[in-house]
Amino acid sequence: YGELSVQELSDLLGISPSTVRRDLVSVGDHRFIARTHGGVTMATMINYSDLCINRVAIDAREVRSIALRAAEMIHPGDVIGLSGGQICTHLAFLLRLKENITVVTNAVNVATELVCLPSIQVRLTGGLLHPGSFELIGKALEPGLDGVHIQKFFLGTDGLSVDAGVTGHDEAEATASRDMMAHAATNIVLADSRKFKRTSFAQVAQLSAFQTVITTELVTQSILVEFQQAGIETIIAPLI
């Protein structure tokens, strides 16, 4: 989730390494900062490495870059939706820096990461907890969205193509995403480079149902042109 060394903190803040080390001692118990050997990293409310859930390897640079670009689109007063998945989870981490927003999600871990923030209101949908992920699914999900209006819904994907649209490996999760989309004014796909021109098992929706795709510079220009010609905005996040 990103790590900074003592020297990097020193250069960034314009203070000496010894001052950085002293300051790190004082923030050692901070909820969102974890000390490492020689620096700090972002702390999480959940230890993801020990959980038996379905996790596909994604370039960590792409996860950070896409999430950061998505976070720039979120402003005070916004009501946003978040699906599950690694990129949306990282986006949830970045929301710690935001104020006065409401997050609607069917991902239990996303709600957990945000629950202690007084400036963020979290609405968790109903549903059955999926055995292979953190997402709530099933018939109880949609009624929990009655009367809810989401301005921007950010969702991850397992596949993205001009012909098949946005697809996922799990039919129930795809249905849950559709339910969320039905309550959103703008639907935004967060997709790393490996998801393009790939079709997974269950369709979430045709490409025309989405307004924007956020990805990285690792996607070739020829592929981006295909999506642009299909009428969808493509935002390219520089790798960080």
Q: What is the pLDDT of residues 161-194, one digit of tens each?
A: 999 999 999 999 999 999 999 999 999 999 999 9
Return d(Cα 227, Cα 234) in angstroms, integer: 7
Q: Distance between CA 121 and CA 5 in Å, rounded?
A: 33
Distance between CA atoms of residues 190 and 216, nearest Å: 10
Confidence class for position 1, pLDDT limits 50, 70, 90: very low
The answer to whether residue 153 scores a pLDDT higher than 60 is: yes
pTM of the entire structure?
0.84
pLDDT at 135: 95
Spatial distance between the Cα atoms of 143 and 2, rounded to a whole number of angstroms: 37
CA separation for the pair 113, 24 (Å, rounded): 22
What confidence tens digit (pLDDT) does each residue in 100-139 have?
Answer: 999 999 999 999 989 888 899 999 999 999 987 899 999 9
Whole-number pLDDT of residue 49 = 62
Q: Kindly give, in sequence order, each residue whose CB lies less than 8 Å from that of residue 73, ignoring residues fewer than 6 positions away.
A: 152, 188
3-state secondary structure of 13: helix
pLDDT score of 194: 96
Contact in structure between 160 and 87 (CB atoms under 8 Å): no
pLDDT of 7 reads 87
For residue 233, the model assigns a pLDDT of: 97
Q: Which pLDDT score, from 0 to 100, does residue 55 have?
A: 61
Instruction: List beta partners, residue 237.
Output: 216
